[in-house]
Amino acid sequence: MEDTVTETTVLVAIDGPAGSGKSSVSRAAADRLGFGILDTGAAYRSLAWAAGETGADLDDEASMLAVMDRWSYQTTLLGDQRIGVLLNDGAEYKTYDITAAIRTPEVSGQVSRVSKHASVRVRLNEMFRQIVAESGLPGVVIEGRDITTVVAPDAPVRILMTASPEVRATRRAGELPGMSHEQVLADINARDMKDAKVVDFLNPAPGVTLIDTSDMNFEQSIQAVIDTVDAARTTRSSTE
């Protein structure tokens, strides 16, 4: 990626498990830094939604790759997030705004079935790199899975944001009316077990900064990211 991004581009890669706060914190930090934000999880959700629309078998890798051949992803990097897809329904391509649709429990429950396919992740990672390379922005925060180790392993700032399952469940329960803390905690533990098969959210890779937000509020979490970016910028400037 380093040879496709302009020299002035600051790349901030953020990994983390569901409910760690990485999405909301990453977006707020990017806004304050004047950077773009690429939510890679939205692409996985978009693909899960497309599979449901086309009747594809989410557990079959070839079936999911076939969906990707008929699917084109669209996302904003600045301002309010808008997610769209261009999808061939068998007769013609149609454009859909699925910003709200991909956040439903029905779609959320299918994301792990999409992300478990290695070839699907490879193709999406290539797409993420292209989106960043063509952004023309001074900086981009990329958040999601495999970001610090696969998508942007050479990023000058790499962060693993985590929190205890109990804290994550409390945060998520507040976002999911009708679900108890116990139900959300069970869902998070199940999601962690699935995710652990394809990505390590517990141990940061060499060169990755660990930010545990268990005892941080939202503002403190944002500042922790900004401080990490500022520290990397200072180090970078002193070595140039």
Binding-site annotation, residues for ATP: 16-24
Annotated binding site: 16-24
Burial profile 13-31: b = 16 or more Cβ within 10 angstroms, e = fewer: bbbbbbbbbbbebbbbbbe
The answer to whether the beta carbons of residues 126 and 68 sit under 8 Å apart is no
d(CA 132, CA 24): 19
Could you give the 3-state DSSP secondary structure of residue 72?
Answer: strand
According to DSSP, residue 149 is labeled I
Could you give the 3-state DSSP secondary structure of residue 90?
Answer: coil
